[in-house]
Copies of this chain bind each other. A is one copy, B any other.
């Protein structure tokens, strides 16, 4: 998928919502556990119910790896289902990978070619040659961790140099120099809306993937105030707040309702653009 196709989908659905598929067998409706592949059954129901309000899906790979071979199988089924049934949707492998060059190429092939995700999240700590192998794949996006939404996010990301430049700013600035940097997006947590103004000075046009709305307490309006661009430029992720809206047999309808509420809030924000 290219950037324009993502933007077109956003305008068409009047949504920039991303749903995080972080499937925990202890939290899904218990009747699904009798299915042959409960994780996929859950994902399929959630996707079918929410896709009209949603432009992106983001399985966090940890939740699949935790179930070993069965987890990988469910991940394969989920991404295949998305690519076959809803090819307009943007898919994100939330993997937070990053390794030395030849090894990053392995991860890139696994997620971009074999699993056919549109994008992957990558950690910047190991520097340029750990990220550039991902950027070599055309029409694929690499979503670099910049400023994360978790409590410890500022432990290192706010580390500041003599020019009052913080590490997350250095990561943003430096990454713009990398080859194919137009295929970068960035993770910026919704729990830190005050940072978006500063971030947009450095990356005025790149898409930002924004986790932390909902269960983590982030604020959609606050994020949009400084984060929105003329091309929207935001993907707002909600995981638990949507997929676990109900643990009963109405879980898919409840998820759709939660997604719709967010979509409508987004539509009204887009109307003011």
**Contact A152 B167, CB 8 Å, known A72-B69, A99-B60:** no
Nearest CB on B from A81, distance (A): 16
Which residues from chain B contact A104 at a C-beta distance below 8 Å?
A: 62
Let me know if A106 is at the binding interface, CB within 8 A.
yes
Q: Return 9 A-B CB contacts under 8 Å, by A number.
A: A62-B107, A69-B76, A100-B150, A124-B125, A127-B151, A127-B154, A160-B161, A161-B161, A167-B167
Q: How many residues of A contact B (CB 8 A)?
A: 53
Nearest CB on B from A16, distance (A): 21
- Do A62 and B110 touch (CB < 8 A)? yes
- Do A152 and B128 touch (CB < 8 A)? yes
Which residues from chain B contact A86 at a C-beta distance below 8 Å?
A: none
A contacts with B: majority SS: helix
Let me know if A268 is at the binding interface, CB within 8 A.
no
Which residues from chain B contact A72 at a C-beta distance below 8 Å?
A: 68-69, 72
**Contact A68 B130, CB 8 Å, known A123-B125, A125-B124, A161-B161:** no
Nearest CB on B from A192, distance (A): 13
Contact with B along A87-113 (1 / 0, CB 8 A): 000000000111111011011011000
Q: Which 9 A-B pairs have the closest CB atoms?
A: A127-B152, A127-B155, A128-B152, A62-B106, A129-B152, A100-B150, A66-B106, A66-B110, A62-B103
Nearest CB on B from A121, distance (A): 9
- Do B110 and A65 touch (CB < 8 A)? yes
Let me know if A36 is at the binding interface, CB within 8 A.
no
Complex Cα–Cα for A157 and B73 (A) = 36
Complex Cα–Cα for A159 and B101 (A) = 21
